[in-house]
Amino acid sequence: MGQFSQAIRVQQEAIALLQDEKQRKRYTSRLELYQSGFPYRDYAALARSVSALLAQRKFAEAEPLARECLALREKQIPDDWLTFNARSMLGGSLLGQKKYAEAEPLLLSGYEGMKQREDKIPAVGKVRVKENLERLVQLYEATGQSEKGAEWNKKLRELN
């Protein structure tokens, strides 16, 4: 509702009551958002919506939600594998719209970021790395870069 001063005060009170360090960290990140004039949004729900739209091949609809999801994750959890997955999802929405030049750097950085944090990705999230590789193969096949496509396809086969 744009009442950031009130949100800051309430969030500070909540943090003071918390015993669990993990919760304190989560609440502190929300406090930092409020102090910057940004509302808290549930990026997990947003990511589920983007993923569903991509699965339905509704790429243009997915793009603005993917952009919002990425912006939130970059602000709230910049070094988490989920942020790099958000890059991949945005890249996927652009790829589906044939915006190849915009998609490529997002897909590449999404893959590299997830690969670097592979040990932190839970088993249920491993499918996201595979999806990113599939998108890279699709990108390079669609742009006639068969050698690059073959390289990424090899990585995809090695993953399976």
Q: What is the pLDDT of residue 32?
A: 82
In terms of phi and psi (left: phi > 0; alpha: psi -120 to 50; beta: otherwise), the region of 98 is left
Q: What is the pLDDT of residue 148?
A: 96
DSSP at 56: T
Does 27 lie in the same domain as 84? no
Does 96 lie in the same domain as 62? yes
Does 26 lie in the same domain as 8? yes
pLDDT tens track, the chain, 160 positions: 778 888 889 889 989 998 888 888 888 878 887 888 777 777 788 899 999 999 999 999 999 999 999 998 998 889 999 999 999 999 999 999 999 999 999 999 999 999 999 999 999 999 999 999 999 999 999 999 999 999 999 999 998 6
Does 60 lie in the same domain as 11? no
- Greatest distance between any 2 Cα atoms in the chain: 58
Tell me the three state secondary structure of residue 124: helix
The separation between CA 86 and the C-alpha centre of its own chain, rounded to angstroms, equals 2
Does 59 lie in the same domain as 112? yes
Distances in whole angstroms, Cα of residue 37 to Cα of each of 9, 29, 30, 45, 120: 13, 13, 11, 21, 30
Parent domain of 31: 4-35
Q: What is the pLDDT of residue 37?
A: 79
d(CA 112, CA 132) in angstroms, rounded, equals: 10
Q: What is the pLDDT of residue 36?
A: 80
Does 49 lie in the same domain as 24? no
User: What CATH number did the domain enclosing 154 receive?
Assistant: 1.25.40.10
d(CA 81, CA 121) in angstroms, rounded, equals: 7
Does 92 lie in the same domain as 140? yes
